[in-house]
Structure 1
């Protein structure tokens, strides 16, 4: 019986000290998630490098590709035409809200 009690007592002491240390350890501070950044509408004037009306995208001379709205009506876009694109960031995409010639 003594062979059983001594190891059990040691295990109990070691186990309870580990629990006491875990309970005493300070939990890491939880920082609140930053408020979602509000997308600020912006505009850019540049020439059309390429556009794809089936994918609803337009790429300007600055190299950025803008996603056109699903309801976009083509005002006669041509590669090389100067346009003004009003856009805002949605995630990692440049979301165009309007495209005007000139």
Structure 2
């Protein structure tokens, strides 16, 4: 019984810790940004939905950015967008 509980505890800890790292990261150059539609497109064709509370720090086409995102269905939902120097 003790071995079973130990195994279940370890499995639970592993699955919970992997959920915390579910966000993916990518970098690229901005092709277009639409702050009204809350979308960002990279030059490679990747499209990202920006969060409703997104505050545009003055992003413009041609700037290199790093994007943290989650997959929501088949869409990329950005959680953070930062400029890359």
TM-score by length of 1: 0.60
8 A contact 1:75–1:101 mirrored in 2: no
What corresponds to 2:30 in structure 1? 48
| Cα deviations by residue, 1:8-36 (Å, 9 ceiling, x for unpaired) | xxxxxxxxxxxxxxxxxxxxxxxxxxxxx
* Structure 1 residue 62 displacement after superposition: 1.8
Within 5 Å, give how 1:17-96 maps onto structure 2: 40-96=22-78
Over aligned residues, Cα RMSD in angstroms? 1.4
- Give, in whole Å, the separation in 2 of the partners of 1:45 and 1:94: 13
8 A contact 1:45–1:83 mirrored in 2: yes
SS in 2 for 1:47: strand
Structure number with higher strand proportion: 2
| Cα deviations by residue, 1:38-89 (Å, 9 ceiling, x for unpaired) | 6920111110000100000000122011000000000110100000010010
Task: Please identify the structure whose Cα radius of gyration is greater.
Answer: 1
* Matched residues, number: 65
Ranges in structure 2 where 5+ consecutive residues have no aligned partner: 1-18
